[in-house]
Structure 1
Amino acid sequence: MTGPSTLKVSVVVATYKSGGGLDRLVASLDAQSLPAADWEVIFVDDGSPDETWDRLLRIQADRTNVRLERIENSGWPCRPRNVGTDLALGEYVAYMDHDDELYPNALRDAYAFAKAHGADALNGKEARTTDIGWALDSYPMDMPQTLDRTEQFCLSPTNPHKLYRREFLNQHGIRFREGGRVLWEDVFFNVLVAKYAEVISTMAGTPYYHWCTTKGSGSTSFLRSQTEWWRWLEEMVVAIEGDLTSDHLLAQRTVLMEHQYRSRLIDTFNNRYALRAPDEKKMIFERARRIQALHFPERYDQALSTSGRMRAILLRRGYRHLLERLTVDDPNIPGRPRITEVKWEQGAFRLKTMADWTDANGNSYRLRRQGDRLFRDIDPRYGDVVGSHLLDMTDEIRASSLSLLVRSVRTKVAWAVPSESVPWLAKTGVDWGVRGHATVDPVSAAMGQPLERSVWELGARCALPGSSQYRLARSQTLRPAVHVDADGAMAVYARQDGVVILDFDQTESTLVRLLQPVGAPTRDGTTLRIELSGLTADVDTRISTRVDIDPRSTVHRAAALLGSLLRRPRNAHTTDRSGWRTIDAVLHVESGRGFLEFEAAPRASMRIRLGERVPGSRGVYGLRSFGRTSHTGRRHG
């Protein structure tokens, strides 16, 4: 173990009955680019009754920078984290949950960034398994100082997956609240950090932490149906009000209070509220109303959407049954992003985008037109209670927006990409939505750095004032865009499930599934050559690929099909696929044109699968003897 004066970081991990996620965590620590001599990891086991301690001993045996501590069960990660903090020797302390992972350059770059700016705490870019746009707004750029932010809390998201200067924590006695199960213990902790810190930095350019959400993990057990949820929510609000009182922190207090009010209190009255048991609905209403009355005066309503303000007014006035009815009459509707066109132009993929607001069942906002304004088409008596102006959605619609992101399928890291959008309203009727365009430059999309050459899903943020959602972008009519450069091939296209992806080097699909044949094939001895359309290229090159062929003759295929019909039950699917096989092929790129070449016996009759992901095309290319061709197969869709 390196001496205390040379350790840069102490990673503190609280463990309890750790499952398979612990292996993931250890693997991510082993992969750190910061030399092991510069940091330590302290596992503090909270009295696990299973084999967790033995696993930790085995982990320690193979590593020189691992320390272990075992304590009696405390029931929550707070006590183990505090014990680990007391034992830590590093200049900075990094907290991890026992089933998460750090990205490879996390400790190296986070320490360097924090040290360079004298940060008391560093908020590193985080991703979350179950949320494609998780905390993306928190990391727009590298920021040496964020205590002066007015649109985001400086330590948002408020979990403890960050870097904290150990001397700073000790100087101010900052520790996690102990005493068994403490909901939002990380918020209490980070509020104290913000209270005393002089510098809080945000590192956005290097991915830092992957929050691996799993069934039964801490935050997934927080339930509004339990009274403890409401008790701890009020305690958290009291802590925010009491700790963030300095003049320079007023903006920080406001945005953090607005977040609690919107996402935890008002958003409780969502589409699922009316489905709760009667006693549960009554308890929730009464608890929410009490917290609102004590801590959220009417000025907080102004930061809500009109839908949220309607709910806030009904809650404030005690109209429990009318509020329940409103959650049915005015449900929350998410935006649905789509990509309608993609082309490679001027060194980047250029995409046309659009969005409407439709839920999974096809439901949209119920609206009625009055002149050039769009109003919620609900009982007008709501307007008598909350004000008829809150039924008017026109200004919100005119302020709606759509912005694109790319998210790695492998790492879950997401990056916002340059986007512009314009809302539209039909001149008659009640149709509306957003149209826009975005640019995905593979060389710079990762905040100025190249994207990893793997598979990236495209998603989007669909926003109305006071509310936004991140969803995967889809299309059923998108024509693929394929580009070839000196580094290889990349393509944007819609997968079979409709999700639009950026695929590097045929990671998910071979290029021949994205390109269409042009004209008749030619032969040179046993080599078959087919021109394919749909790509652009900067270089002449050869790309290894694979192609599916069915080399059986028409007679053999007919016999096989007849045999399958006789063997299968009536009405069974009759398409015969048994003769298909995959062979090696080469895609020659010459002067911006693509030519597929593979070996085929002279005078062979066969079928070839080409262009299956091209909408409107036929996916099977039929080749008869002497080079005559035909198209067969099903349309894409």
Structure 2
Amino acid sequence: MPVYNAGSYIDRCAPSLVNQSLGADAYEVVYVDDGSTDDSAERLERLAEAHEHVRVYRQENSGWPGKPRNVGVDRAKGKYVQFVDQDDELSYEALERLYALAERNGSDIVLGKVHGTMQGPSNVFKRTVERCTAADAPLFESLTPHKMFRREFLREHGIRFPEGRVRLEDQLFMARTYVRAKTVSILGNYPCYQWNRREDGGNNSSRRITADDYYGHLDKVVEAIKEGTPPGDLQDRLLRRSYRVELLRPVSEPRVLRRTGKDLEEYFTTVRRMAMTSYPPGVSEGLPAISRLRAELLVRDRLDSLVELARRTEQIKAHVEVDDMRWRNDKLVLRTRIGMVRGDGEPLTVVERGGRMLLDPELLDGIRGAEDWEVPDPFSYAYGELIVHDTADNHWWYPDGELTPTLEPLGGGRHRVVVAGESVIDPLTLSGDAPMSTGAYQVWGSAQLLGVGRRPRLAPAPGSTRIALGTVAVGTPPRLVSPTWAGPGGQLRLAVGDPGRIGTTRRVLLRTTADHRLRHGVREVLRRLPPGARKNIRATARRAEGWMLG
């Protein structure tokens, strides 16, 4: 852990580091103090005195985390190193689980599921993956260094963090490791790393970033990928992430709509130059339709067209349809479809014309350079899925099943691209192969279509009928699971309660009763409960609406 003026954050994080389930005799905690001027050094010394497996090193201030991380790796004694930032925490079993996964597979890198206020849902951690590489897994969607690395792997390839004030140092380090790693493992069924946003904003840099500064460092990341891969399809695919996310960001919504004048011109000129000099042609050619159009307008020097495209694309929203929802063997099965609609409420389409498939002419009408924009593959980078958000612990979980892209004809050669399919929420295994804990869960959709990504609430389309389901009791001992439509937009939510805890049971059943969700299956629920809990539930339900249950 690199430390600089961490203050009380040292004491907040320390318990999660020194009390790992792996056992104090199996690992060490190495702090490298980068010339702190507050009381961080004293706090660290107290930790070292209290815990034999804590070691502290001090050095002159280097101004950035790169050098203290390198010093930590050099001084470490273990077979593996795990990087942690001073604002963050590890879950209790993180090291034990990561180490076991690494040893089982001979891994060079192990990614542990990340959660916290700095991390939203990431389908990199959708499932646990024993063995993969950058060639067959979306590793470049996770570019922070909060991972476990085999120390000899880093030493063998001479991989170190850049030292000094270097932007994107994490991306550069990860790019060098990913392209060289022969075995990578992903731990997706246990939240390992809590990535926290500081209340004072202290983990967000306040130094002004210029376009030349930022993209000069991005160019080094691009070069690192080129150095580690031969020209061709794999290299293009790995470079596509930085092109799509980093390079096109200043000419996409919302940033291209917020910047004006010299600031906008500076970013436009910088990313245009980099697009023309740093990336092979195959990178932009493989992008989805709207992203590829942005790349074309960028190279053609059409800033005005990029601004107008961003203005229209910003208005595109996801359109969710819940075709079916039912309980099957105590699992919640949903059939859903997600498409996109333009700002005028009409579907975002592709149109067959003269043997070619063109991007929605009405979306592009009047945008210079975007006329008759061809879509060679409407399913390029198209995918969809459902996500369940545990609102209490801020964890994101992925049900079984994916939404498959398909074309739906609308007549007149027009088609809409949608993702559709069946998803299965198993209350006994959703939370990392463990039962869902007591609390409230929100269900979201996620879709990428034609280069537009949206994460809508899973709610019936306006005017459609909401499917009503009853509460079920699952598992032994049983827990109650109740689907409801509530909150903004009437989002699908799951209330999970433990019948053994009367207060929790009352909250769950009051909600479900008020929404008329106890019409079916109530007798079966009551039958599976202990007599005492059964009595309390009856009383709670009667008070809610005067229903006579059982």
- What range describes the TM-score normalised by the shorter chain of this pair? 0.7 to 0.9
Distance in 1 (CA, whole Å) between partners of 2:4 and 2:148 is 22
Q: How does 1:357-506 map to 2 (within 5 A)?
A: 357=340, 375-378=360-363, 380=365, 382=367, 385-390=369-374, 396=378, 401-421=383-403, 424=408, 426-427=410-411, 435-446=420-431, 448-474=433-459, 477=466, 479=468, 481-485=470-474, 486=476, 487-497=478-488, 498-505=490-497
Match of 2:144 among 153, 159, 182: 159
**Contact kept in structure 2, 1:123 and 1:163, CA below 8 Å:** yes
Partner of 1:324: 307
Bigger Rg over Cα: 1
Within 5 A, what are the aligned runs for 1:231-630? 231-241=216-226, 243-245=227-229, 252-272=234-254, 273-331=256-314, 333-335=316-318, 337=320, 342-357=325-340, 375-378=360-363, 380=365, 382=367, 385-390=369-374, 396=378, 401-421=383-403, 424=408, 426-427=410-411, 435-446=420-431, 448-474=433-459, 477=466, 479=468, 481-485=470-474, 486=476, 487-497=478-488, 498-505=490-497, 509-515=507-513, 533-535=519-521, 537=524, 540-542=527-529, 587-588=534-535, 596-597=538-539, 608-610=543-545
Report if the CA contact (8 A) 1:425-1:432 is conserved. no
Identity of aligned residues (%): 25
What is the match of residue 171 of structure 2? Answer: 187
What amino acid is the match of 1:35? Answer: G
Contact (CA 8 Å) 1:333, 1:358: kept in 2 or not?
yes
Structure 1 residues 60 and 455: CA distance shift in structure 2, 3 A: farther
C-alpha displacement of 1:34? 0.8
8 Å CA contact 2:473, 2:481 repeated in 1: yes
Contact kept in structure 2, 1:342 and 1:481, CA below 8 Å: no
Closer, same or farther: CA 404–193 of 1 in aligned 2, 3 Å: same
> Take 2:282 and 2:207, find their aligned partners in 1: how far apart are those partners?
28
Q: Give the conservation status (yes or no) of the 8 Å contact 1:474–1:499.
A: yes
Deviation at 1:108, TM superposition (A): 0.6
- Distance of aligned partners of 1:168 and 1:397 in 2 relative to their CA distance in 1, 3 Å threshold: closer
Give the 3 Å change call, closer, same or farther, for CA 217–427 of structure 1 in structure 2. farther
Please tell me the residue identity of whatever aligns with 2:458: A
CA–CA distance in structure 1, aligned partners of residues 409 and 379 of structure 2: 8
2:53 maps to which of 45, 52, 65: 65
- In the TM superposition, residue 159 of structure 1 has moved relative to its aligned partner by 1.3
Deviations 1:208-258 (CA, angstroms, capped at 9, x unpaired): 3232244635567697764422221222222222x21358xx665332211
1:511-543 Cα offsets, whole Å, 9 max, x none, are 13202699xxxxxxxxxxxx9534453662447
In 2, Cα distance between equivalents of 1:268 and 1:517? 46
Deviation at 1:106, TM superposition (A): 1.4
Given that residues 402 and 434 in structure 1 are in contact (C-alpha distance below 8 angstroms), is that contact kept between their aligned partners in structure 2? yes
Cα offset, 1:433, TM superposition: 5.4
Aligned-residue CA RMSD in angstroms?
3.8
Checking the alignment, whether the CA contact within 8 Å between 1:586 and 1:598 is kept in structure 2 is: no
Alpha-carbon distance in 1 for matches of 2:403, 2:154? 44
1:143 aligns with 2:130: yes
> For the residues of structure 2 that align with 1:299 and 1:64, how far apart are their CA atoms?
54
Give, in whole Å, the separation in 1 of the partners of 2:144 and 2:42.
28
Please state whether the residue corresponding to 1:86 is helix, strand or coil. helix
Give, as a single letter, the amino acid of the residue that structure 2 aligns with 1:443. Answer: L
Q: CA deviation at 1:163?
A: 1.0
Alignment correspondent of 2:159: 174
Going from structure 1 to structure 2, the CA distance change for 1:358 and 1:53 (only over 3 Å counts) comes to farther
Aligned counterpart, 2:113: 125
Q: Distance in 1 between matches of 2:338 and 2:73?
A: 47
Structure number with the higher helix fraction is 2
How has the CA–CA distance of structure 1 residues 59 and 411 changed in structure 2, closer, same or farther, with 3 Å as cutoff?
A: farther
Q: Residue by residue, what CA displacement relative to the aligned partner does 1:405-434 show, whole Å, maximum 9, x if unpaired? A: 223334433332123546545458998855
Cross-structure match for 2:501: none
Distance in structure 2 (CA, Å) of the matches to 1:122 and 1:276 = 39
- Give the SS at the match of 2:360: strand
CA distance in 2 between counterparts of 1:227 and 1:112 reads: 43
Provide closer, same or farther for how the CA distance between residues 198 and 434 of structure 1 changes in structure 2, counting only shifts above 3 A.
closer
CA contact (8 A) 1:443 1:451 kept: yes
Give the paired residue count.
526
Question: Partners of 2:145 and 2:184 in 1: how far apart?
Answer: 14
CA deviations over 1:426-476 (Å, ceiling 9, x no partner): 458998855543210122334544444444332222121445344443469
> Aligned partners of 1:178, 1:305: CA distance in 2, in Å?
36
CA contact (8 A) 1:222 1:229 kept: no
C-alpha distance 28-73 of structure 1, shift in aligned 2 (>3 A): same
Separation (CA, whole Å) in 1 of partners of 2:313 and 2:539: 58
Worse-matched range after superposition: 474-483 or 277-286:
474-483
**Structure 1 residue 94 displacement after superposition:** 0.5
Answer whether contact 2:438 2:496 (CA < 8 A) is retained: yes
Q: Which amino acid aligns with 1:43?
A: Y
Q: Deviations over 1:76-102 (max 9, x none)?
A: 111111121122111111001111222
Distance 1:85 1:296, change over 3 A: same
Query: For 2:471, what is the secondary structure of its paired residue?
Result: strand
